[in-house]
Copies of this chain bind each other. A is one copy, B any other.
């Protein structure tokens, strides 16, 4: 699975074949369908592994926040830090999200449900509103905007003059203003 992540990140989804993965892992290509029965299953397991590790990291940082505002800050900071420190994992995540298909044939990032990645953020925003710390707004749409601003960083992070810390500071500033009463 580590070799799968590397291959996805380096070669892209299209070129991530059993042969390519096996070459990196230095195993026979036929060993993969022996363990995973299916390519889709290999991808699904890989995705699950990445998502779990990422969620755990972000949540671990978020819970240390005393207020909703602090938790929002840490959410942004941790998400961007994850991208900065594990770009390979995130690259693999994107490759899967934009190429893998659910059993019904729909692309994963367009699946009707799967708001799982947004629930933590939404709950932070809702808590802030209940506490009277944040102004009134739609938590779902605000969460989409925040998440988009975070995700966009990955495509830009390798370009000259773009680094984690200043972008994190900017995002925190932007969305602190956005939720402030």
Contacts and interface: CB of A to CB of B under 8 A. Distances in A.
B110 A14 contact: no
Which interface residue of A14, A155, A180 has the most chain B CB atoms within 10 A?
A: A155
Interface string A116-140: 0000000000000000000001101
Interface stretch (A27-35, A52-60, A67-75, A165-173): A165-173
Interface residues of A, number: 47
Contacts of A160: 112
Contacts of A112: 158-160
A153 interface: yes
> How many of these chains are in the complex?
2
Interface of A: 12-14, 91, 94-95, 98-99, 101, 107, 109-110, 112-113, 115, 137-138, 140-142, 144-153, 155-156, 158-162, 166-167, 170-171, 173-175, 177-178, 180
Given A101-B12, A174-B174, A147 B158 contact: no
A140 B162 contact: yes
Contacts of A155: 109-110
Question: What is the interface of chain A mostly: helix, strand, loop, or mixed?
Answer: helix
Contact of A148 (B109, B137, B152, B159): B152
